[in-house]
């Protein structure tokens, strides 16, 4: 079971709130969200580099490397899903922020 994520909870709460948009709160949350997205992208690049290194070892029949490679591939796939979901929520929040700034 995935653990609760305070940032995603904050984004969901802001998106669910109707008519009570605080542009400063929206902007802070967007900033935190974009920082998280950059962090996930950096971690994904690090994992992909490890995958590249392990790929050569797997070809030589190393079972431990094969298991590690499979685990890394699962991590990358999970992070890609997390990153996609985060970007989708940030897009919705960014549109909400733009509307709040124009209205304010």
SS3 of 17-66: the string is CCCCCCHHHHHHHHHHHHHHHHHHHHHHHHHHHHHHHHHHHHCCCCHHHH
User: Is residue 3 included in any domain, yes or no?
Assistant: no
Q: How far apart are CA 39 and CA 16, in angstroms?
A: 26
The domain in which residue 99 lies consists of 21-103
User: Is residue 8 included in any domain, yes or no?
Assistant: no
Q: How many domains does the chain have?
A: 1
User: Is residue 12 included in any domain, yes or no?
Assistant: no
Structure token pair of residue 33: 């969200």
Confidence of residue 1 (pLDDT cuts 50, 70, 90): very low
User: Is residue 9 included in any domain, yes or no?
Assistant: no
User: Is residue 14 included in any domain, yes or no?
Assistant: no
User: Is residue 4 included in any domain, yes or no?
Assistant: no
User: Is residue 55 included in any domain, yes or no?
Assistant: yes
pLDDT tens, residue by residue, 39-80: 999 999 999 999 998 887 777 777 888 899 999 999 999 999
User: Is residue 6 included in any domain, yes or no?
Assistant: no
């Amino acid at each position: 079971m995935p653990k609760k994520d305070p940032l995603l909870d904050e984004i969901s709460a802001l998106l669910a709130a109707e008519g009570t948009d605080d542009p400063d709160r929206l902007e802070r949350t967007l900033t935190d969200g974009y920082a998280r997205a950059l962090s996930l992208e950096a971690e994904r690049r690090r994992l992909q580099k490890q995958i590249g290194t392990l790929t050569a070892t797997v070809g030589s029949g190393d079972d431990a490397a094969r298991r590690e490679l499979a685990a890394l591939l699962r991590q990358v796939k999970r992070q890609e899903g997390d990153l996609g979901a985060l970007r989708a929520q940030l897009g919705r929040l960014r549109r909400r922020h733009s509307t709040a700034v124009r209205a304010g």
